């Protein structure tokens, strides 16, 4: 049996996280399990620091925040240039040596988006995802875009890990929260994704792809009204390689992309969710490039979205996202960050996206 874990800097050493979050596999499955890289997630911009010394880093951080004033450049140098696993070790050493919580000290010494970025980086990535999902559903209204961005883009093991940790952190089942905060076809899409039951074998069947393409056509463009359940079933169950074949077959039959058909047949959140799956199958880097662009386009900046995409992708494929961003929008990601952010916040983002500091 193979698990699709991808380039697991996102969840740092899957064995540790399986133990951490209490995901238990049946013993008869675990004997011959083979953990392999199946989805080539891509090229990160943030790699583990070489000659890593968490004790020295902890002392340097304490020094940067002790007394009058704060050495923000030192905070950036350490926190933004260590991967998540290293940051967790720094926090343990900080608490051991000084009897203080590093996140609380950071909160006391920084503010605004710079603080939000550093605090986000210091949280275990699983906890960070859980907090983003919880925030998206807390209070009045729901941020459906966050739910789509997270649940439509992660693998089965990642979603299972998040579900278990969500229950630990918030005392509620993620699926139950999704049911209460969403409705209709969009709710059914999210519940399907939350089940994390996608085939991840990587096996392809050209004949089955032709059949599924015809089923999608019959469920959408060839009927009055749309059979949303067929789109849901196919897009949430088939593996990415098989979906690519299905999309190619659909375009061969109709002369246009399935994306165009989805935009014609659906609207609102369900359309956005299905399009997100389509884009992640066809070009995940372009999908996240579009998320970064949307966070900075127009008047004002959606800093929460900008921070989330950079934190969650910098250890996976942000270098590829940068290339896609410049190809799609004609300017570098750095230039957009420069135009929409400032100060230490801007310089911290530069470090995470693999760019040199500039004025």
**CB-based burial of residue 237 (10 Å sphere; 0-12 exposed, 13-18 middle, 19+ buried)?**
middle
Token pair in block for residue 314: 């910098």
Task: Tell me which architecture the domain covering 206-282 has in CATH.
Answer: Orthogonal Bundle (1.10)
Q: Which has the closest alpha carbon to 150: 175, 132, 176, 167? A: 132
The pLDDT assigned to 73 comes to 97
Q: Which one, of 246, 241, 238, lies nearest residue 216 by Cα? A: 246
d(CA 98, CA 103): 13
CATH placement of domain 285-353: 1.10.220.10
- Write the DSSP string, 247-296: HHHHHHHHSS-HHHHHHHH--HHHHHHHHHHHHHHHHHHHHHHHHHHHHH
- The pLDDT of residue 6: 40
Length of the chain: 359
Q: Which two tokens stand for residue 173?
A: 């089942």
Distances (CA, A) of 133 to 61, 130, 252: 30, 5, 38
pLDDT tens for 177-223 read 999 999 999 999 999 999 999 999 999 999 999 999 999 999 998 88
Q: Is the dihedral of CA 130, 131, 135, 139 positive or negative?
A: positive
Q: Which CATH architecture has domain 125-195?
A: Orthogonal Bundle (1.10)
CA 243/CA 281 separation, integer angstroms: 7
**Where in the chain is CATH 1.10.220.10?**
54-122, 125-195, 206-282, 285-353
Give the number of other Cβ atoms within 10 Å of residue 53's Cβ: 13
| Tokens describing residue 147 | 């739910």
> According to the model, what pLDDT value does residue 15 have?
41
First to last CA, the chain: 51
Question: Which residue spans within 159-240 are E strands per DSSP?
Answer: none
277/189 Cα distance (integer angstroms)? 11
The answer to whether residues 91 and 122 touch, using CB atoms and an 8 Å cutoff, is yes
d(CA 103, CA 109): 10
Regions of the chain where pLDDT drops below 70: 1-41, 358-359
Q: Is 300 helix (H, G, I), strand (E, B) or coil?
A: coil
Could you give phi then psi for residue 332, rounded to 5 degrees?
-70, 155
Residues 82/90, Cβ–Cβ less than 8 Å: yes
This prediction has a pTM of 0.88
Q: What would the CATH number be for the domain defined by 54-122?
A: 1.10.220.10
CB 105 within 8 A of CB 65: yes
**Beta bridge partner(s), residue 35:** 3
Q: Phi first, then psi: what are they for 22, rounded to 5°? A: 75, 35
Distances (CA, A) of 88 to 15, 65, 259, 314: 16, 18, 40, 16
Q: How many CA atoms lie within 13 A of 18 on its CB side?
A: 14
Q: 222-269 pLDDT, tens per residue?
A: 888 888 999 999 999 999 999 999 999 999 999 999 999 999 999 999
Whole-angstrom distance, CA of residue 272 vs CA of residue 287: 12
Return the pLDDT at 359.
Answer: 54
């Amino acid at each position: 049996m193979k698990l699709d874990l991808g380039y697991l800097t996102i969840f740092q050493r899957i064995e540790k996280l399986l133990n951490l979050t209490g995901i238990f596999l049946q013993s008869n499955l675990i004997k011959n399990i083979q953990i392999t890289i199946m989805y080539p997630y891509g090229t990160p911009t943030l790699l583990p620091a070489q000659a890593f010394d968490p004790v020295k880093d902890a002392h340097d951080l304490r020094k940067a925040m002790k007394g009058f004033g704060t050495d923000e450049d030192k905070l950036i140098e350490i926190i933004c240039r260590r991967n998540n696993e290293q940051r967790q070790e720094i926090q343990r050493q900080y608490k051991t040596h000084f009897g203080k919580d590093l996140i609380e000290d950071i909160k006391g010494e920084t503010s605004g988006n710079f603080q939000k970025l550093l605090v986000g980086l210091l949280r275990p990535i699983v906890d960070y995802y859980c907090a983003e999902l919880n925030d998206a559903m807390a209070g009045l209204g729901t941020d459906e875009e966050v739910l789509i961005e997270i649940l439509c883009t992660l693998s089965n093991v990642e979603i299972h890990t998040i579900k278990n940790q969500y229950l630990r952190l918030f005392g509620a089942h993620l699926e139950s929260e999704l049911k209460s905060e969403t409705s209709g076809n969009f709710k059914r899409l999210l519940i399907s994704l939350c089940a994390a039951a996608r085939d991840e074998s990587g096996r392809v069947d050209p004949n089955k792809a032709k059949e599924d393409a015809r089923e999608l056509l019959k469920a959408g463009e060839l009927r009055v009204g749309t059979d949303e359940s067929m789109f849901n079933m196919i897009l949430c169950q088939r593996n990415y390689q098989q979906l690519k074949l299905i999309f190619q077959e659909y375009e061969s039959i109709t002369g246009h992309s399935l994306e165009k058909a989805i935009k014609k047949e659906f609207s609102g959140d369900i359309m956005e969710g299905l399009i997100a799956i389509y884009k992640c199958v066809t070009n995940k880097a372009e999908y996240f490039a579009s998320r970064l662009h949307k966070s900075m386009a127009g008047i004002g900046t959606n800093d929460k979205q900008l921070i989330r995409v950079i934190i969650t992708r910098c250890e996976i494929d942000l270098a590829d996202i940068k290339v896609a961003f410049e190809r799609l929008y004609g300017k570098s990601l750095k230039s957009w960050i420069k135009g929409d952010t400032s100060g230490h916040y801007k310089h911290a983002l530069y470090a995470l996206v693999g760019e040199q500091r500039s004025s």
